[in-house]
A = this chain, B = another copy of it.
Amino acid sequence: MTVSVRDVAELAGVSVGTVSNVLNRPEKVSPATVARVTTAIERLGFVRNDAARQLRAGRSRTIGLVVLDVRNPFFTEVARGAEERAAERGLSVLLANSDEKTERELTYLDLFEEQRVAGILVTPVAENMPRLRLLRDRGIPVVLVDRESKDEAFASVAVDDVEGGRIAADHLLDQGRRRLAFVGGPVSIRQVSDRLEGAQRAVAEAGGTIEFIGTGALTVDEGRIAGQAIVAREPARRPDAVFAANDLLALGLLQSLVMAGDVRVPEDLALIGYDDIDFSAAAVIPLSSVRQPAKLIGSTSVDLLLSTTESDEAKRRHVVYTPELVARASSVL
């Protein structure tokens, strides 16, 4: 049923070693032999068995990527960046979705370890570091994505979220707003707490107030719920500006606010999100946001991962990008 190198060798009248050479180092084989072997491969419909290669190599040619939410376009962009760079290096990317759940993250980490992946790219849910350290100690390179590593134990590619939070808040303050609200959660996600912290600092410096409105997840639905809560308040008690922890939340908020009818964006309430996903520019009231170089984050992660394998000091390398304000109609009069 299944065609192996042995069958190919037999048909071509050469040895299996030669077939392997044709496959992997054709320049070491005479053109005539290459041709014979190639013909045999085609005639037989031979396809390499990757499992056998991996077993031999001791490691697979796949990189595992665990993200918080595949439905968030920001992460699919990161994935695309990683995928493209990996493809250039002859590797493929296995995309896994933790859904912000520690348990799911662990399941995928186990799976990846069983597969002896070439490396793991992960945006950890919470303080799940022991497992990651174990992975690293067992020889699997780990790179933290979109998350600076506090303990310096891992290479990481991140965006300065504290700075991003400050940028967002500063922008709202520059527009003359003073009663800010931060919508986001859970705070156990570092991105959320950092952005909040940056915003708080900006407000502390410029004068003004910032209240915290918690959400259960970073989704459109949760944004919608938070928006309804704001609309339900009497006008005087509403914030005059909202900074949402990501664009999904901001889009949900926007919908609730506009549907309510009596909250005008940006006149009554300026709104800014985070990530600058495609849908933000396409929103009918285009959404201001803080842009992160998503694709670049993905490709850089792969680069770091691969250099990690080479040198030891690379293991601790950290790349931090600075986010960028994208001001649109939702926050500018």
Contacts and interface: CB of A to CB of B under 8 A. Distances in A.
Nearest to A113: B47
Given A2-B58, A51-B60, A97 B80 contact: yes
Copies in the complex: 2
Contact of A252 (B114, B134, B282, B286): B282
Contact of A45 (B110, B138, B278, B286): B138
Contact of A50 (B49, B83, B115): B115
Contacts of A115: 50-51
B282 A284 contact: no
Interface stretch (A69-77, A171-179, A303-311, A314-322): A69-77
Given A47-B113, A70-B76, 8 more contacts: A47-B138, A51-B52, A51-B54, A71-B80, A94-B94, A95-B95, A220-B282, A283-B284
B111 A83 contact: no
Interface in A180-200: none
Interface in A144-172: none
Contacts of A285: 284
A139 interface: yes
A114 B47 contact: yes
Interface string A193-229: 0000000000000000000000000001000100000
A70 B252 CA distance: 22
Nearest to A99: B80
10 contacts: A47-B113, A47-B114, A50-B114, A51-B54, A70-B80, A92-B111, A220-B278, A220-B279, A251-B279, A255-B281
A153 B2 CA distance: 22
